[in-house]
Structure 1
Amino acid sequence: MKKFFILLIGILAFARFSLAAPPIDQLFKDFPPLSGKIIVQQGQFYLNLGANQGLKIGEWWLVYQPGKPIIDPDTGKVLGYQEKPVARAQVVQVFPAYAVLKVFCFSPGCAVSTGARAERLAGVPAFFFDLTGKAFPVYERLRATYPKLNWQPYQQITSREMIPAGKERVLFVAENGLLYFYSNDHILGVYSLSEQRVFQRPGFGPQARPYKLVGRLREIVYHLDVAPMGQALFLASLTKKKIYFQRLKGREHFVYEYKGFGDLVNFSIGPNGLIAINIFDGKRVKSRLIKFTGASFLKVTKDSPYILRFFDFNLDGVKETLIGQSFDDEEFYGPGVYVFTIEGESLKRKNRLDVPSGFRIFGAFWADLNLDRQLETGFFNVGRKLVIYQGKKKVWSSNIKFGAGVQYVFMDNPEPEIKTPKKVLIWPNPWVTLWQGWPRVFIPYNEYGLLGGILSGAKRSTVAVLFYTREGYQFFLWKESFQGTTQAVFSYKDSVYIAVVEGDFFKGEGETKIFKVPLPQLMRDLSY
């Protein structure tokens, strides 16, 4: 009975602690990036920031010493000074307007003088130990917020005894739904890893979303891409018969209209304004290359029987490689996949790619996710799961089925006695970009109910992110969700653009909203 009583007291104490712990977002409010100035008096070091700015005993700062001036060649004015890290400093006492520091020089006799700049949470090793197995998105968010810490690889462990001893470091430990923040022997904070419900306070509006609406089209868009043209950026959007080019900042817009038999099912933008378009008439695919000059559209090649897409193999932001997959009159996607080049008005097969069985070019990507200098191949298989291959060896498969977007075609059966057409999903294309030196794959993610989203769209609609970690290939979902169906996603510079379709898809009536979110913000808000 006594043991049970002690155990119960321990559980209740932990429950109170868990409930009292502020949400993880509070950590970033408690420790925002700050910069201050060093004051040296009689051999003692001070910082001109204190408790009024939220400083806590134990936190680390990186100290810089100004070097040579940076001079404007035209005006001769001093624009600033080169900075060299010379020491790290730990806060040992805190007063309202200043703090006392203990300074550790990187080399003996370093010169730290009054006026030297110091930066919060920088210059010391940072360790993250996860006892939950689910806190990797928190690790990524911390790395993005405090990039000047010397981050060590994420580590998943099963016991605190596996944490090595150390000094002059910061330590994050995820355990039992909490995140502990240590600096040497100091506990800087304890935060809840659980998602917090958002309550609207009286007199205040709803919580602001991290994304904003940047465009709207009064019809269903089946694909969205970005077309840089010199200094201008155009958003290219696809309907069944037209491709719209709208300048992102400005009123210029251009329309490519297909007037032949069949519908446009996909397009992709390559280098120098080249566009690969695919047309399906119910029985076969034909494709062609056109070119957007910035003012008009020109036909570049004759029609081809291959399904075409441009890909960015080296992740330099330009989809320079043209890939074509053969068409099959029974399965839609044929077995042959080739690299093509342009010769005059024709496309020439350059070489054949050795792809896994069941490969589908719509929804596919190539990327060196684990940085082993070999491209992995990713695509959606017949079971609607995302799979990754190295060569012809499957190395990963999603544990969930994806709902495709709103686009599909009906394919006439070549056997005349079979009257029922075959439904073929046209998967939205993923987008691969580099972030923090590693490839990240952004994927439209839709989860459907019993009706499959025919009338009202997906039950859950967001962006999925796939990338390689210490634990292997990891798949995360953005915490935000949209009303409607996520149909396209791409990134440009430091922003991610998302096309969400709303309406009655059975009747083909609806509208498309285009949202923009900062890339670091999206990566910070990932979850399982």
Structure 2
Amino acid sequence: MKLGRIALIFLASALLEIFAAANSGAQTSSPGTPTSGGPPSGGPPPVSIGALIDQAVALFPRVETEILEVQGRNVTLAVGRASGLQPGIVLEVVREGREIRHPRTGQVLGNAEQSLGRAVIAQVSDRFSTAQYEGEPAQPGDRVRTTGKVKLTLLTLTSLGVKSTGVEPMTNEIYEGLSRTGHFQLVFGEQIAAWLTQEKIAPEEFVQGKGVTEASGRFKADNLLVLHYKMVDRKPFLDARVFVMGRSAPSLTTSFFVPASLKAPVGRFSGSDKVAQNPERKPRSLLQRLLGWGSDTSAYSSAETSLALKEIARLSYTVVSMDVAMTPADRIPRVVITDGQKVFVYKIVNQAFEGDWTYSERAFGRIFSVQFADLTGSGRLEVVANRYDPRTGMNSFILGVPKGKPEVLVEDIESILMAVDEQGGGVKKTLWAQRFRKETFFTKGQADEMVIKNGSLVKVKSVPVPDTFRATGATFTNVNGKTSRALAFIDEQNRLRVSVGTEELYRSGSVVGGGGEKIEVIRDVERGGRSYFFQLEPTPLAIDLDGDGVEEIIVPQNQIDTGGLIGIIFRGPAGLRFQQVNSGFDGMIRAIGSIPGEDGGQPSLIAAVVRYKNFLKVSGETQLIMTLPQE
């Protein structure tokens, strides 16, 4: 009996150990051995982030060897499995030439080299490897080696139920760890994420290999690290896989629960490579203040608790559209506003409004957008105004002040106009036009660059834009990187899209925009015509909020009944990230602009907040609110 009890105790202990191992939260597979990517079911202890980084480094070893044999496009290399080589690894092939000696000492400094081509490992044996070769004719004895940093595309995918508060710090740890090795050149894979959405390929399908070959070829992602976050047992779980040279079978698979101890990354919000060494550094950037730095990251940020605000004007009408810009000629910030009938231009002097000029002329239609632009190169800002009448269509015009008073430079324009800052100089100097169509209002996939000549607009060239592009609610930005200008716009489904040419980089999951003019288009499809309505969108603001040279995007979220909400799109370690901020404003945010800070200081934001007086929203007032620089 006593022995039976002892046996039961040992059996219970063994079962507990097995259960603990099954829930330890980590698993890994050797390179080339795919797994299901599900939660661990036993075996080795938890895999740390450091282990994942070590495995990624080991997957791309430093190798230098020579060619043993050449048979057509196949070459045999004098290196085997012990080197760590895996199929898909790319090596450089060079031929050594004459010795280079020091002219005085005669010391051999090295050999001249001729680059021949590249070899892609196809098969690895114990003592040799075979590879497919592309390049100039090679021969036995030519040298083969790895060269430079390995380009690794980092793609973050999330399934339903995963909060960004867990994804961001985990991805940041992996990104920083890979960077510290000095082994990789890391790039982000937002284009692939957008393409997967377009092709309706779920994250679970992609990590199993569906679409990997096509994505790798399309976006030149020879080496792809996929971080797939999902929920397992109500906890965030990471399935990490490395795909090499477009092979649908991963060369590395590892998975584990995201440690609860990870915190949000400190001091790193956008595309800068610099990480703050002192998290208490003062003053905080405007981006940190907007995001409510130091608050509970699982809740919406409250900008009103961290920003100094000032009402700079209160208008007795509802603002339809607004733009803000620094005038190149006199360096005075100006604001242009329309109520739908008139155009008002103000100066901002000592954080207060001063009237500059007003334009009013009876005409068919209603103005639904105004923008500043320096289209003539004079340093004085012109005003690009879109006007529409349900019966006659588009009737846009451009205003200038060549002699100190406003006058029409171009009128009766039957297109939707959009001024853009293509070069990132801070002032919009290029004019686009999108043709108006009664059937769709916007002409899909079409835009032309225009210039003013002899009182009319002349086409310079067609510009490539996505089919979903709409010339209202659009701006240019370098949110994808300092050297890359991208087009950001709000689509028909109220999602913010970022694209370069026709290639989409990002699409927001949250709704944005709303609150813009509703356009009535009357089509002659039956007696008396029939009305169709199109919702126009507020223009997103592209602005560098943290001084790192990479812009963020701010866009109102008037579709949400809460009111006073804005969305901020910024580059984080996991790529482009969206965060909602409660501005605390009581009303609809109709437009957002900005002026640069003095002596390179923090910029100031200006928001037009509209409050309607009745249910029909036909009358109301506008409050213009400005953020003040941090003392």
Q: TM-score over 0.5 for the alignment?
A: yes
Matching residue of 2:166: 132
| CA displacement at 1:179 relative to structure 2 | 6.9
Is the counterpart of residue 254 in structure 1 residue 357 in structure 2? yes
Matching residue of 2:541: 431
Cα distance in structure 2, aligned partners of 1:225 and 1:373: 25
Query: Which 10-residue stretch deviates more, 317-326 or 386-395?
Result: 386-395
| CA displacement at 1:511 relative to structure 2 | 0.7
What is the RMSD of the two structures over their aligned residues, measured on CA atoms? 4.1
Matching residue of 2:372: 269
Note if contact 1:174-1:180 (Cα within 8 Å) is conserved in structure 2.
no
Cα distance in structure 2, aligned partners of 1:254 and 1:374: 36
Query: Which 10-residue stretch deviates more, 486-495 or 229-238?
Result: 229-238
CA offsets 1:13-71 (integer angstroms, 9 cap, x no match): xxxxxxxxxxxxxxxxxxxxxxxxxxxxxxxxxxxxxxxxxxxxxxxxxxxxxxxxxxx
Aligned residue pair count: 351
Cα distance in structure 1, aligned partners of 2:551 and 2:295: 30
Over the matched positions of the two proteins, sequence identity in percent amounts to 19
- Structure with greater proportional helix content: 2
Note if contact 2:300-2:580 (Cα within 8 Å) is conserved in structure 1.
no
After TM superposition, the score normalised by the length of structure 1 is 0.58
1:252 partner amino acid: G
Cα distance in structure 2, aligned partners of 1:194 and 1:440: 19
Matching residue of 1:482: 585
Cα distance in structure 1, aligned partners of 2:167 and 2:489: 27
2:509 partner amino acid: N
Matching residue of 1:328: 437
| CA displacement at 1:153 relative to structure 2 | 12
Cα distance in structure 1, aligned partners of 2:579 and 2:630: 15
Note if contact 1:440-1:465 (Cα within 8 Å) is conserved in structure 2.
yes
The 3 A distance-change label for structure 1 pair 285 and 505 is farther
Counterpart mapping for 1:319-358 below 5 A: 319-335=428-444, 336-358=446-468
For residue 471 of structure 1, the aligned residue among 574, 578, 586 is 574
Is the counterpart of residue 213 in structure 1 residue 283 in structure 2? no
Cα distance in structure 2, aligned partners of 1:133 and 1:388: 21
Note if contact 2:343-2:359 (Cα within 8 Å) is conserved in structure 1.
yes
1:444 partner amino acid: P
The 3 A distance-change label for structure 1 pair 461 and 174 is farther
1:445 partner amino acid: Q
| SS of equivalent residue, structure 2 residue 443 | strand
Matching residue of 1:281: 389
Cα distance in structure 1, aligned partners of 2:165 and 2:428: 41
Matching residue of 1:369: 479
The 3 A distance-change label for structure 1 pair 180 and 424 is closer
The 3 A distance-change label for structure 1 pair 177 and 242 is farther
| CA displacement at 1:133 relative to structure 2 | 2.4
Matching residue of 1:461: 564
For residue 234 of structure 1, the aligned residue among 334, 337, 340 is 334
The 3 A distance-change label for structure 1 pair 367 and 517 is same
The 3 A distance-change label for structure 1 pair 403 and 266 is closer
For residue 303 of structure 1, the aligned residue among 412, 417, 440 is 412
1:365 partner amino acid: T
Higher relative contact order, chain-length normalized (CA < 8 Å, sep 6+)? 2
Note if contact 2:169-2:265 (Cα within 8 Å) is conserved in structure 1.
no
Counterpart mapping for 1:133-212 below 5 A: 133-134=167-168, 175-176=260-261, 193=296, 210-212=308-310
| CA displacement at 1:221 relative to structure 2 | 0.1
Contiguous gaps of at least 5 residues in structure 2: 1-11, 21-163, 174-185, 189-226, 230-235, 241-257, 267-278, 281-293, 375-379, 597-602
Note if contact 2:326-2:595 (Cα within 8 Å) is conserved in structure 1.
no
Cα distance in structure 2, aligned partners of 1:383 and 1:370: 22
Matching residue of 2:604: 495
Is the counterpart of residue 447 in structure 1 residue 556 in structure 2? no
2:618 partner amino acid: G
Note if contact 2:308-2:630 (Cα within 8 Å) is conserved in structure 1.
no
Cα distance in structure 1, aligned partners of 2:452 and 2:306: 48
Matching residue of 1:407: 517
CA offsets 1:334-362 (integer angstroms, 9 cap, x no match): 24310111111111000001111131000
Cα distance in structure 2, aligned partners of 1:402 and 1:252: 32
Cα distance in structure 2, aligned partners of 1:180 and 1:415: 57
| SS of equivalent residue, structure 2 residue 585 | coil
Note if contact 1:307-1:327 (Cα within 8 Å) is conserved in structure 2.
yes
Contiguous gaps of at least 5 residues in structure 1: 8-129, 140-151, 163-172, 182-186, 199-205, 450-458, 522-528
After TM superposition, the score normalised by the length of structure 2 is 0.49
The 3 A distance-change label for structure 1 pair 357 and 315 is same
The 3 A distance-change label for structure 1 pair 359 and 195 is closer
Matching residue of 2:508: 398
Note if contact 1:377-1:388 (Cα within 8 Å) is conserved in structure 2.
yes
CA offsets 1:277-301 (integer angstroms, 9 cap, x no match): 1111113102221103584201112
Cα distance in structure 1, aligned partners of 2:577 and 2:263: 22
Cα distance in structure 2, aligned partners of 1:293 and 1:228: 17
Matching residue of 2:322: 224
For residue 243 of structure 1, the aligned residue among 335, 343, 347 is 343
| CA displacement at 1:231 relative to structure 2 | 4.1
Cα distance in structure 2, aligned partners of 1:306 and 1:387: 22
CA offsets 1:426-456 (integer angstroms, 9 cap, x no match): 211112123411021221222334xxxxxxx
Note if contact 2:494-2:513 (Cα within 8 Å) is conserved in structure 1.
yes
